[in-house]
Structure 1
Amino acid sequence: MSVLKVIEVLSSSPTSWEDAAQKAVEKASKSVKHIRSVYVQDQSAQVTNGSITEYRVNLKLTFEIE
């Protein structure tokens, strides 16, 4: 039987929401082992002078506890 835990992670990227999510998983995986899934809870963007300058995601990461 496995036990899973969920943590909330925030990330951003100047490129895209997908890139922000990928960066969050890559960074979290350096200290959190056995990541099973990611749920994108929220997406937002910062706008400067009529253009998007930063994509932001709020993720829930699920991982197995050893």
Structure 2
Amino acid sequence: MNINQASAQALSEGLSGIGLEKARAIVAFREQHGAFSRLEQLLQVKGIGAALLEKNRARLAL
């Protein structure tokens, strides 16, 4: 799933442990800071930790 293009709804439905609130935070971060250039930037989003990133890494794309 492309985190630079997916909607909050798509993120919440397609990623494990990501509810609508966290998905909206990802989209808000992207809108505020521009496109993600590295998956590790997700760690800067409130509510996204290393374990959650690793759990979903195989599903994520830029």
TM over 0.5: no
Report the TM-score when normalising by structure 2.
0.30
Report the TM-score when normalising by structure 1.
0.29
Which structure carries more relative contact order (alpha carbon 8 Å, separation 6+)? 1
Q: Which structure is larger by alpha-carbon Rg, 1 or 2?
A: 1
Structure richer in strand, relative to its length: 1
Structure richer in helix, relative to its length: 2
